[in-house]
Amino acid sequence: MAPEHTAGSSVTRALRVVEAVGAAGDGVTAKAIARRLGVPLPSVYRMLGTLVDEGYLVRLHDVRGYGLGYRIAELHRSLTDQVRPSVALRGLLHEVHTTARAAAYLTVSRDVDIVVAHVDDCTDHPRPELMRVGEPTAAHATAGGKVVLAALRPGRFAELIARTGLPRLAPLTVADRRTLDRELMRIRSDGAAIELEEFEAGVAGIAAPIAGPGGEIAGALGVSVSRADFAARRWELERVVRRAAARAALLPQDPERRAVSP
């Protein structure tokens, strides 16, 4: 066996061990991991020892098993730092949150994913449960995601959809390509995207594109509210979002930020 293949297999197996521990929760045993992964127990023990030494897992003596280590949290903090917008843009999102009385969020393109870069919310105006900062969003089911999808080149759009599919997440999720294509055409023409119980039951929202320095789409600014609230305040929310997106385009750009290519 080639050394490169051996190394690759070892790394892949170690990653599967970390994922198995994360899925099982604190206290999972080496034997349980070996059964789940179909890997010999001695190999699992060796990988567990290395992962504990490196901080990716911890040995929990009270429950006689393993749990995720704090190095995982450090990596997640690094990821959220990389996608976090500027102080000025975060301040604008907070202003949108308080003015619109709605959770305000920013989505951006990161390679072939559409990622939630920031959310400003509170207990009175919460974000959807599945909207997590630093993680890809179901772009076909969120207003902000659809705005960014509408700006992608055809090749990148096809690559993303082929990889993620169009899973049905809520009662009205757009789950077929033809309907989505028509929706994206409407968004390009109208300059805003709407979601109505597509991402989460009972939740609705609207988002508008943020233009980059060259006219390309740098991201999407959106709000999320209950469907009943959206029905009552749709035009108010749209005005706030459109104006905020236009203001966001005038804020200083982060030179490290890669915009979405049209």
Is residue 137 a part of any domain in this protein? yes
Is residue 75 a part of any domain in this protein? no
Distance CA(98)–CA(6), nearest Å, equals 54
Distance CA(3)–CA(9), nearest Å, equals 10
The domain tally of the chain equals 2
Distance CA(13)–CA(209), nearest Å, equals 41
Is residue 76 a part of any domain in this protein? no
Do 101 and 226 fall within a single domain? Answer: yes
Do 33 and 139 fall within a single domain? Answer: no
Domain boundaries, position 62: 3-68
pLDDT per residue, tens digit, the chain (262 aa), is 444 344 458 888 899 999 999 999 899 999 999 999 998 999 999 999 999 999 999 999 887 899 999 999 888 888 877 788 999 999 999 999 999 999 999 999 887 889 999 999 999 999 999 899 988 899 999 999 999 999 999 889 999 999 899 999 998 999 999 999 999 999 999 999 999 999 999 999 999 999 988 888 889 999 999 999 999 999 999 999 999 999 999 987 654 444 444 4
Do 138 and 215 fall within a single domain? Answer: yes
At residue 254, the pLDDT reads 57
Distance CA(176)–CA(167), nearest Å, equals 9
At residue 253, the pLDDT reads 62
At residue 95, the pLDDT reads 97
Do 93 and 223 fall within a single domain? Answer: yes
User: For position 24, which CATH number holds?
Assistant: 1.10.10.10
Is residue 34 a part of any domain in this protein? yes
pTM, to two decimals: 0.78
Contact 51, 69 (CB under 8 A): yes
At residue 258, the pLDDT reads 47
Do 141 and 238 fall within a single domain? Answer: yes
Do 22 and 143 fall within a single domain? Answer: no
At residue 77, the pLDDT reads 84
Transcribe 138-182 into DSSP letters.
-GGGSHHHHHHHHHS-HHHHHHHHHHH-----STT---SHHHHHH
Do 97 and 193 fall within a single domain? Answer: yes
The residue type found at 151 is A
User: For position 218, which CATH number holds?
Assistant: 3.30.450.40
Do 137 and 45 fall within a single domain? Answer: no
At residue 52, the pLDDT reads 92
At residue 241, the pLDDT reads 98
Is residue 255 a part of any domain in this protein? no
Do 25 and 63 fall within a single domain? Answer: yes
At residue 4, the pLDDT reads 39
Is residue 108 a part of any domain in this protein? yes
